[in-house]
């Protein structure tokens, strides 16, 4: 049996007090804390290797390249992406936002005729449709909204149920023969609801559209297999899966990555360059990795991926379900309304709530004064808040290090908020 109290001890940042209270961290949807092995991996890289990848003939450069590519393979294993069979399908990015912008920019380049015959499958223009949902993080909504504006395509979206779930049941109506791109979140960073993506993927492929998944909130919490899910592309961040900041990953089916034109240009992504004709670019994933890579962070992210797989995603999921059950009791506190599904079915432990009569920032500061770190604001997802008639909320989100007692503490503190503010 997995001992999660022992796992918790691997996180040195949690061994401190905040405002005279033992730190309780419930902001993992924003960024997860790092186990000591991840911290050590990044530090050790700087101490022993620290060289660029895919360039240089000296020993450190060689060791750096090996470590970088081994880390890529570890991350690929975590999400069921091809690597060892010779079809590299994971691109290193600066984060999920960078990966999604990469796709929107590359599709825009294809729409301008870049990339040759193979890239025409990505082209969008007037009369075409791009589909998102009201649940999207701005990192999904804005890049594809801008792509629609640049190309003359029409932006459409899935509506939400009363409790904030993406209306997957309307896939046949929302996605039409004119749809070229569908970009949808796997798990909302506000409601915690898991999107039933199967009917959306199926319909997208029926009409020949590209399906893009925002996997930021699912890779840290669910067992993921992108091949089995049949998604075309997926983006996520290392810092939410217990890895370092400043790095993320973009999964793409190999044949699609090979057809997609580059989005950024510079060193390491070009095979041949001339003054008088267009350059010849590298094969994926290098084609999409211009410039100097965050090698230390990628190596540490590989350690994080291995660490998660060592614990077992099924074990992690079961542990977090227990915490979520307790955390959802916050909806029973008078004056508190959960923003999203009120039970633990098909959701993760991202629990946003509105407090009648108290501003979310005041709620967050009250929790902070008790040593509990929660998130306040619109969480970079304004349309889903408007769906609930709100502009902002307070959010408590679970990680592998949280305990049932901590969740009970959150509910206990919640009960004191409105009396403190004399509401």
- In this predicted model, what pLDDT tens digit does every residue of 186-212 receive, in sequence order? 999 999 999 999 999 999 999 999 999
The CA distance from 175 to 212, in Å, is 14
Q: How confident is the model at residue 11 (pLDDT cuts 50, 70, 90)?
A: very high
* pLDDT at residue 85, rounded to an integer: 55
**Which pLDDT band, with edges at 50, 70 and 90, does 115 fall under?**
very high
What's the pLDDT at 86?
47
Cβ contact 182:335 at 8 Å: no
Closest by CA to 106, choosing from 202, 189, 237, 210, is 210
Pairing of strands 280-281, 270-272: antiparallel
What pLDDT, on a 0 to 100 scale, did the predictor assign at position 25? 98
Name the β-bridge partners of 154.
Answer: 129
Q: Tell me, what's the pLDDT at 2?
A: 87
What's the mean pLDDT in 336-365?
97
CA atoms within 13 A on the CB side of 125: 8
Domain 43-309 is found in CATH 3.40.640.10: yes
pLDDT digits (tens, 9 = 90+) for 274-308: 999 999 999 999 999 999 999 999 999 999 999 99
Which residues are paired to 272 by β-bridges? 280
From 23, 37, 61, 380, active-site residue: 380
Helix axis angle for 313-327 and 295-311, nearest 10°, is 80
Q: Alpha carbon of 37 to those of 7, 82, 301, 308: distances in Å?
A: 11, 25, 10, 11
> pLDDT-based confidence at 113, cuts 50/70/90?
very high
Beta bridge partners of 376: 394
Instruction: Return the CATH fold of 4-30+312-420.
Output: 3.90.1150
What does the alpha-carbon distance between residue 292 and residue 135 come to, in Å, rounded to a whole number? 34
Percent of the chain's residues with pLDDT above 90: 96
> Are the beta carbons of 348 and 32 closer than 8 angstroms?
no
Residues in the chain: 423
DSSP code string of 138-198: HHHHHHHHHHHHHHTPEEEEE-B-TTS-B-GGGHHHHS-TTEEEEEEESB-TTT-BBP--H
What is the helix (H) or strand (E) element at residue 131, kind and residue range? strand 129-133
pLDDT at residue 55 in the model: 84
Q: What is the pLDDT of residues 144-169, one digit of tens each?
A: 999 999 999 999 999 999 999 999 99
The DSSP H or E segment spanning 235 is strand 233-237
Phi–psi pair at 170, nearest 5 degrees: -100, 15
Q: How far is C-alpha 277 from the geometric centre of its chain's CA atoms?
A: 38
pLDDT given at position 56: 81
The verdict on whether 380 is a catalytic residue reads yes
Domains of the chain, residue spans = 4-30+312-420, 43-309
Identify any residues that bridge with 285 across adjacent strands, giving them in sequence order: none
For 31-86, the pLDDT digits (tens) are: 999 999 999 999 999 999 999 999 888 999 999 999 999 999 999 999 999 766 54
d(CA 346, CA 390): 23
Q: Please identify which residue in the block is written with the tokens 């997926």.
A: 234
Q: Which two tokens stand for residue 385?
A: 């808040």
Confidence (pLDDT) at 87: 59
DSSP letter at 276? S
């Amino acid at each position: 049996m997995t001992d999660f109290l022992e796992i918790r001890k691997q996180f040195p940042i949690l061994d401190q007090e905040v405002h005279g209270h033992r730190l309780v961290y419930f902001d993992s949807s924003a960024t997860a804390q790092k186990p000591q092995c991840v911290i050590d991996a990044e530090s050790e890289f700087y101490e022993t290797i620290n060289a660029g990848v895919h360039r240089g003939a000296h020993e450190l450069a060689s060791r750096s390249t090996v470590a970088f590519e081994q880390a890529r393979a570890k991350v690929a294993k975590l999400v069921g992406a091809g690597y060892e069979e010779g079809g590299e399908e994971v691109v290193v990015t600066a984060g999920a936002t960078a990966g999604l912008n990469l796709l929107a920019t590359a599709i825009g380049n294809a729409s301008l005729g870049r990339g040759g015959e193979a890239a025409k499958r990505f082209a969008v223009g007037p009369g075409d449709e791009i589909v998102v949902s009201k649940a999207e993080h701005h990192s999904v909504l804005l890049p594809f909204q801008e792509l629609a504006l640049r190309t003359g395509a029409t932006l459409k979206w899935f509506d939400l149920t009363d409790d904030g779930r993406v209306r997957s049941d309307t896939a046949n109506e929302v996605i039409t023969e004119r749809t070229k791109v569908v970009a949808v979140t796997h798990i909302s960073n506000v409601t915690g609801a898991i999107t039933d993506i199967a009917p959306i993927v199926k319909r997208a492929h029926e009409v020949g559209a590209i399906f893009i998944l925002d996997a930021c909130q699912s890779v840290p919490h669910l067992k993921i297999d992108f091949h089995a899910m049949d998604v075309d592309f997926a983006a996520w961040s290392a810092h939410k899966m217990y890895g370092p900041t400043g790095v993320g990953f973009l999964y793409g089916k190999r044949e699609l990555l090979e057809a997609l034109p580059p989005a950024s240009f510079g060193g390491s992504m070009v095979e041949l360059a001339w003054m008088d004709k267009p350059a010849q670019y590298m094969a994926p994933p290098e084609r999409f990795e211009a410039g100097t890579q965050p090698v230390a962070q990628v190596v540490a992210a590989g350690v994080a991926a291995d660490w998660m797989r060592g614990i077992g995603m099924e074990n992690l999921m079961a542990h977090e379900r227990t915490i979520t059950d307790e955390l959802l009791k916050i909806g029973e506190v008078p004056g508190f309304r959960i923003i999203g599904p009120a039970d633990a079915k098909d959701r993760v432990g991202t629990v946003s709530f509105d407090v009648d009569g108290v501003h979310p920032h005041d709620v967050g500061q009250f929790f902070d004064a008790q040593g509990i770190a929660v998130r306040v604001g619109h969480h970079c997802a304004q349309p889903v808040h408007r769906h609930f008639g709100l502009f902002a909320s307070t959010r408590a989100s679970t990680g592998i290090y949280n305990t049932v007692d901590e969740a009970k503490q959150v509910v206990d503190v919640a009960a004191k908020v409105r009396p403190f503010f004399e509401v």
